[in-house]
Structures are given as structure tokens and as C-alpha cells.
């Protein structure tokens, strides 16, 4: 029987078909106990207590609708149920976390997520292919593989995708980010794909892909201003649903850029974005961002912060 | 609540988005006829079949769950915007969204407690119901004693408590404080949340708000330990809450005359970047000294 670590591992691997109803149900029963709800309270109006115990003893196939009703009675959503598995077993790995840490280049505590992603996302499923691309990005940034090797692996991964999907778009974004010689037509094609695709499958991947793509092309003339604006609008739309400081701050950066395109003042939004870069403890990351900001907005960053901060002195 | 039909509809959307035929995703799992029976609700879906079909599309169950959640978010934007405005105490603006929520069945993760409590708190803040009435209504919706008797708490309950403490009596605040100290520092307690970082930081915010606003009643060591723990915590939280946390800590440390350059730097930076409060000359100078030390003032 799959329980605990193995149950969660199987879910994360996508080998979820191996998990039968009973294991889901046992986790649900555990939640029932943690919530101090009796079996009779939980079952009331949904299934008989006898059926409940029969499911626990593996004798009955559980209909999804019944499972959902029982979760609802416990006031737990499907997402919370999935999150519970992670927090309960405290396995310290999470693919989304790995992708997020690679994207933000925050490598503290990343090793366990990297190992998990590397060992478990090895199939040719679209999801695993995308994760593999992020594994390669991390290895490249850590000088474990060369840039040429990284680009060549990304090309191979892109070709392995059976069809277009948000996962393939995510890998295209990495490819464009890594490759300065990329064909203009490819950039334009990916931009159109990003604008037309429904990212509901993963808001985090939407944000990260959009951010990777926009930040790569923002100071280049490859795309029209109108396409750049639409991409930024899409980023801002998805960013508004994710309560995350880094994403919120990046929104200010892109708002400032939109203001610049529309000949409006950039100062307020840019000042908000500076909270991000002045919070860094890494001088190299700070220098890279400073250079990019000064180029895009044509300002002297130090003079800018000195002037703006004067206005707030008591 | 999601029905079988909705789930199969979401699965069908994914199949179409991925340009897969019915035969391709059902082969070896179920017959095409049975798939059609699922779509027409003639036959109930079970988890085993659902997970096998998803595997065939190449998407893990957790991604599928996120897909449905995200679809729900996008379909219920007004609910979430209203909720966030209440969380940020912007009651007047929230009222404009409230009108869109009336006569609508709430669907989001905050539908059970936070949003109904937010609506009542907003009505109180707009002088449409009395303080006694709002206390009565919020207490009833929250059911605090039931929450604090469990070792598991979800994001809706955490955000509901964050709303509740704005009108809570001292006795209830004490119960909440005791409970959240357990949530934060006892591994037996579990938070389940769509956004774990935000939920955890809200637990800190609630705890510190109660501790610092009534600091004379609490042991300094306890307050200092919670502050140390929150400053060590690397979780990401939206700026609004980060500001509230740093303001609480900054003011407390100042009052106790405890010097902490990092907190002063961060609080000044928040104020400079977001123009929230004015910064005194001493903190301003400290801010530029820190920039210099970090090497950030080099040309």
C-alpha cells in the first residue's frame, strides 16, 4: 500500500494512476480526525457509516463525487487536500518551488528540490519535459554544464514535445532567454503563442514564462511596442492572483515600462520596484539589475533614489 | 462544489487544448463509449479512471487540481478582489465589489468564513450595522472555539481570524494568541493553504499584532523570540503585509530602545519606495550608510 512519502512521491511524479481510491480515502480519514469530526457527522447526508468503513477496508470503489462531498464537508478544497499531503509529510520537495527558486535565482535550500526534480521527472510527459528544462537551467547557472550544452539540451527537449502546450512555451522562453542569436521569427511566434494560450493549468508557470520572456526582450527591438504592451498586460493580469512579493514588485517594473511607452511618468512605479533590488544582499545581482534599469529607463539609479528619498524625510 | 460533470468538462477542455483524440486518451483505460457516458453524466467518474486519463494527457493530478482552481479564480475575480480589499482595510472600495457579490453564490476558497465576515465588517465600517451586531455576526461565522480545538488550520480560517481580531474582545485575542503560538512553533500543528507563504506570514502578523499592541501584558522574551523568528523566516508575503509586519517590529524595537540596523533599513526602504510614512533623519542616514556598506552606492 502506498502511504506517506511514497503516496506523495507518486503524485508528484505523475504516476498517480498507481494510487487507488483507498489511499486517498485514508488521507481524508486522517484529515477528519485532525479536524475532530466524527464519522457520523462526516457521512451524514452523503454516505452511510457502513459504506465509509467499507471504503476504508478497501472493499468499495469511491466515486469522485462522494470524495468531493466529503472533502467539502470537512471544509477542505481539492487544492488544500493536495497541499496537505505536502505539509503533512514534510518531504521538503516541490516541483513548483524548484522552478520558482531557479527563476528567482534563489539557491538557498534549493538542493533538495533539485535532486527531487532530477530524479523524478524523467518521463517524456509534457510536464516532466518542462521540469527537465528547469533542471538543465539550474545546472547551467551552477556551471555544471556549458552554455552550448544547455542550449542543445533545450532544443532537444523542445523537439520531444508531442504538441504545443504551456509546458512547451515555458521551455521556448528558456531557450530565448539563453540564446542571444535566436531567430526573430521564433521570438515573434512565441510571443503570439503566449498571448493566445490559456495558462489556467499553472498560474505560476504563466507568470514565470511571461517574466522570463518579457525581461529578455524588453530592451530589444524584436517585437512591436503593441505586442510588448499586451504581454505586459497579461503578466499583470496573472500577477494580481498570486500573493507573492517578488511577483508584485516585478509588476511595478513592468508598469513603469508601460508608462514609459505611453509617455507617462515612470517614477512612482520604478521607485516601488527598487524595493526589490535594494533588498538584495547579493552585490552581483544588484549590479546586473542596476545596469538593466539604467539602460531601459535612461536614468542614474543612485541619483534617482537620492532625489526621491529626500522627499520623505521628516 | 465541483461535480463529476464539471471535472470531466475540465478534462475534456484539456484534451482538446492538447489536440488529443478520445481514442488516444482512453485506449487501454476505458472504452470510447464509457468516456461518452462520463461526458453525458450517465456514469459516475472515479478517481482511478480520472488519474489514468490525466496521465495519458501528460498532466499530474496536482496540476489538474490547480487548473480547476485557476479556472474558478478567473471565473470569480470579484470575490477575490473584494476579499483582498477587506484584508487591506479598504472598506469603501470593497463596497463597490460587494454589490457584485450580492445574490451570488460564493465560490472561492474564502467563501466559507473570510468573505461573509468581511462583508459584515465592511457593513459596520460603513455605519450600516452596530459594533454589537458585527461582533455577534463575526463570532457566529468564525466559531473560534471550534478552530482552536484542531491541530489543522486552513487559509480561509487564518484570514478570517485576521479579520476578526479587528473587533475581537481581549479574551478572544488571548485564545487566538495561544493558538497561533502553537501553529507557529509546534510541529504538530499543520497549515493547509493554496499560498503557504502568505498564510504562514499572516499567522506571524496576527501573533505580533496581539503581542505588541498589548505588550505590557506579555513577557519581553516571548515578543523578542517571535520577532527573531519572523525576521529569520524567508517566506514571501505581499508588500502590504510586509509593511505592517515591519512597522510593528520597528515601533516595538524603538520603544524598547533596542537597536536593529536591518529592521531600520528595511522600514526606511519600505517608506521611501512606497511613500507610506515619513522617515526621520537618523533612520534616513542609517539607510544610506547601509547602502554604502552593501556597495550599492558605487557608480
Smallest CA-to-CA distance from A84 within B11, B189, B145, B114 is with: B189
Q: Compare A27 and B45 and report the one with higher pLDDT.
A: A27
Q: Do B190 and A34 touch (CB under 8 A)?
A: yes
The residues in B 59-118 lying below 8 A from A, measured between CB atoms, are 59-63, 65-71, 73-74, 80, 109, 112
Residue B118 to residues B45, B111, B125, B135, B137: CA-CA distances in angstroms?
A: 36, 10, 10, 12, 11
Q: Do B272 and A312 touch (CB under 8 A)?
A: yes
Q: What pLDDT, on a 0 to 100 scale, did the predictor assign at position A92?
A: 39
Closest CB to B17: pick one of A35, A83, A198: A198
Confidence grade of residue A79 (pLDDT, cut at 50, 70, 90): low
Q: Do B48 and A17 touch (CB under 8 A)?
A: yes
Helix axes B239-255, A245-261, angle to 10 degrees: 120
* Contacts of A86 by beta carbon, 8 Å cutoff, 6+ apart: A8, A94
Beta bridge partners of A313: B279
Locate CATH 1.10.260.40 in chain A. Answer: 4-89
Q: Do B109 and A35 touch (CB under 8 A)?
A: no
Please identify which residue in the block is written with the cell numbers 533599513: B265
CA distance B187 to B112: 26
Closest CB to A63: pick one of B46, B58, B279: B46
Q: pLDDT tens-digit profile of A89-125?
A: 544 347 888 998 999 888 888 898 899 888 877 888 8
Locate CATH 1.25.40 in chain A. Answer: 95-310
CA distance B259 to B238: 26
Q: Indicate the CATH number of A95-310 among 1.10.3470, 1.10.287, 1.25.40, 1.20.58.
A: 1.25.40
Q: What pLDDT, on a 0 to 100 scale, did the predictor assign at position A6?
A: 44
Residues of A within 8 A of B68 (CB-CB) are 78
Res B3 pLDDT > 80: no
Please identify which residue in the block is written with the cell numbers 499553472: A202
By C-alpha distance, the chain B residue nearest A308 is B272
Smallest CA-to-CA distance from B201 within B226, B150, B236 is with: B236
Q: Do A16 and B61 touch (CB under 8 A)?
A: yes
Q: Compare B30 and B137 and report the one with higher pLDDT.
A: B137
Minimum distance, in Å, between the CA of residue B4 and any CA atom of chain A? 6
Domain A4-89 is in which class?
Answer: mainly alpha
Helix axes B4-17, B47-57, angle to 10 degrees: 10
* Contact of A129 with A161, CB cutoff 8 Å: yes
Q: What pLDDT, on a 0 to 100 scale, did the predictor assign at position A62?
A: 66
- pTM of the shown model: 0.81
Q: Where are the domains of chain B?
A: 4-73, 76-138, 143-236
Q: What pLDDT, on a 0 to 100 scale, did the predictor assign at position A24?
A: 67
Closest CB to B194: pick one of A64, A83, A164: A83
Q: How many CB atoms lie within 10 A of CB A307?
A: 11
Residues of A within 8 A of B78 (CB-CB) are none
Q: pLDDT tens-digit profile of B174-218?
A: 999 999 999 999 988 988 887 888 999 999 999 999 999 988 888
Q: Indicate the CATH number of B4-73 among 1.10.260.40, 3.30.420.40, 2.40.50.1020, 3.40.640.10.
A: 1.10.260.40
Range with lowest mean pLDDT among A40-49, A119-128, B142-151: A119-128
Q: What pLDDT, on a 0 to 100 scale, did the predictor assign at position A59?
A: 58
Range with lowest mean pLDDT among A51-55, A186-190, B146-150: A51-55
Q: pLDDT tens-digit profile of A285-296?
A: 899 999 999 999
Q: Do A275 and B238 touch (CB under 8 A)?
A: no
Q: What Rg, from alpha-carbon coordinates, does chain A have?
A: 23
B223: DSSP letter:
H
Helix axes B196-213, B239-255, angle to 10 degrees: 30
Beta bridge partners of B46: A63
The residues in B 208-267 lying below 8 A from A, measured between CB atoms, are 234, 236-239, 242, 266
Q: Say yes or no: ipTM exceeds 0.90.
A: no
Res B269 pLDDT > 90: yes
Residue A251 to residues A215, A228, A235, A276: CA-CA distances in angstroms?
A: 12, 14, 8, 11
C-alpha cell at B37: 457516458
Task: State the average pLDDT over residues A264-273.
Answer: 95
Smallest CA-to-CA distance from B157 within B184, B102, B117, B122 is with: B117
By C-alpha distance, the chain B residue nearest A85 is B192
Q: pLDDT tens-digit profile of A203-254?
A: 788 899 999 999 999 988 899 999 999 999 999 998 887 888 899 999 999 9
Amino acid at each position: 500500500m502506498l502511504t506517506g512519502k511514497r503516496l506523495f512521491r507518486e503524485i508528484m511524479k505523475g504516476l498517480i494512476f498507481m494510487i487507488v481510491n483507498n489511499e486517498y480515502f485514508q488521507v481524508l480519514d486522517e484529515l477528519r480526525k485532525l479536524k475532530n469530526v466524527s464519522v457520523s457527522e462526516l457521512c451524514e447526508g452523503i454516505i452511510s457509516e457502513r459504506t465509509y468503513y467499507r471504503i476504508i477496508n478497501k472493499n468499495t470503489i469511491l466515486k469522485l463525487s462522494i470524495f468531493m462531498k466529503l472533502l467539502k464537508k470537512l471544509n477542505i478544497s481539492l487544492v488544500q487536500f493536495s497541499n496537505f499531503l505536502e505539509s503533512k509529510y514534510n518531504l521538503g520537495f516541490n516541483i513548483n518551488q524548484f522552478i520558482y527558486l531557479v527563476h528567482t535565482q534563489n539557491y538557498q535550500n534549493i538542493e533538495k528540490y533539485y535532486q527531487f526534480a532530477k530524479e523524478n521527472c524523467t518521463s517524456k510527459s509534457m510536464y516532466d519535459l518542462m521540469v527537465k528544462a528547469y533542471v538543465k537551467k539550474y545546472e547551467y547557472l551552477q556551471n555544471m554544464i556549458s552554455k552550448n550544452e544547455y542550449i542543445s539540451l533545450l532544443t532537444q527537449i523542445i523537439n520531444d514535445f508531442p504538441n504545443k502546450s504551456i509546458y512547451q512555451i515555458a521551455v521556448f522562453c528558456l531557450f530565448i532567454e539563453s540564446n542571444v542569436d535566436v531567430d526573430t521569427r521564433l521570438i515573434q511566434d512565441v510571443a503570439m503563442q503566449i498571448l493566445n494560450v490559456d495558462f489556467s493549468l499553472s498560474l505560476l508557470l504563466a507568470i514565470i514564462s511571461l517574466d522570463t520572456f518579457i525581461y529578455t526582450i524588453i530592451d530589444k527591438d524584436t517585437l512591436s511596442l503593441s505586442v510588448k504592451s499586451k504581454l505586459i498586460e497579461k503578466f499583470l493580469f496573472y500577477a494580481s492572483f498570486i500573493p507573492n512579493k517578488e511577483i508584485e514588485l516585478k509588476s511595478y517594473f513592468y508598469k513603469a515600462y508601460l508608462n514609459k511607452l505611453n509617455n507617462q511618468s515612470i517614477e512612482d512605479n520604478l521607485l516601488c520596484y527598487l524595493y526589490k533590488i535594494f533588498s538584495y544582499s547579493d552585490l552581483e545581482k544588484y549590479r546586473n539589475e542596476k545596469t538593466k534599469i539604467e539602460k531601459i529607463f535612461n536614468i542614474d539609479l543612485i541619483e534617482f533614489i537620492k532625489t526621491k528619498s529626500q522627499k520623505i524625510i521628516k | 462544489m465541483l461535480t463529476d460533470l464539471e471535472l470531466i468538462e475540465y478534462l475534456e477542455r484539456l484534451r482538446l487544448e492538447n489536440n488529443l483524440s478520445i481514442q488516444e486518451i482512453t485506449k487501454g483505460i476505458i472504452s470510447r463509449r464509457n468516456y461518452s457516458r462520463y461526458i453525458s453524466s450517465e456514469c459516475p467518474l472515479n478517481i482511478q479512471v480520472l488519474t489514468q486519463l490525466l496521465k495519458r494527457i501528460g498532466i499530474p493530478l496536482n496540476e489538474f487540481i490547480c487548473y480547476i482552481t485557476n479556472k474558478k479564480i478567473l471565473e470569480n475575480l470579484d470575490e477575490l478582489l473584494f476579499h483582498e480589499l477587506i484584508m487591506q482595510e479598504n472598506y469603501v472600495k470593497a463596497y463597490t465589489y460587494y454589490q457584485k457579490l450580492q445574490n451570488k453564490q460564493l465560490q472561492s476558497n474564502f467563501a466559507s468564513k473570510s468573505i461573509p465576515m468581511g462583508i459584515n465588517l465592511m457593513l459596520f465600517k460603513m455605519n450600516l450595522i452596530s459594533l454589537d451586531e458585527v461582533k455577534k455576526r463575526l463570532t457566529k461565522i468564525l466559531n473560534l472555539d471550534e478552530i482552536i480545538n484542531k491541530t489543522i488550520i486552513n487559509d480561509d480560517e487564518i484570514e478570517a481570524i485576521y479579520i476578526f481580531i479587528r473587533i475581537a474582545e481581549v479574551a478572544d485575542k488571548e485564545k487566538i494568541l495561544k493558538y497561533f503560538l502553537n501553529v507557529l512553533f509546534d510541529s504538530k500543528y499543520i497549515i493547509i493553504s493554496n499560498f503557504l507563504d502568505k498564510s504562514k506570514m499572516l499567522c506571524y502578523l496576527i501573533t505580533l499584532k496581539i503581542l505588541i499592541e498589548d505588550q505590557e501584558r506579555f513577557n519581553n522574551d516571548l515578543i523578542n523570540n517571535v520577532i527573531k523568528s519572523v525576521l529569520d523566516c524567508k517566506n514571501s508575503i505581499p508588500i502590504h503585509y510586509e509593511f505592517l509586519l515591519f512597522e510593528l517590529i520597528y515601533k516595538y524595537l524603538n520603544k524598547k530602545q533596542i537597536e536593529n540596523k536591518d529592521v531600520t533599513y528595511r522600514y526606511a526602504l519600505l517608506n521611501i519606495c512606497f511613500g507610506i510614512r515619513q522617515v526621520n533623519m537618523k533612520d534616513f542616514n542609517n539607510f544610506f550608510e547601509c547602502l554604502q556598506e552593501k556597495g550599492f552606492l558605487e557608480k
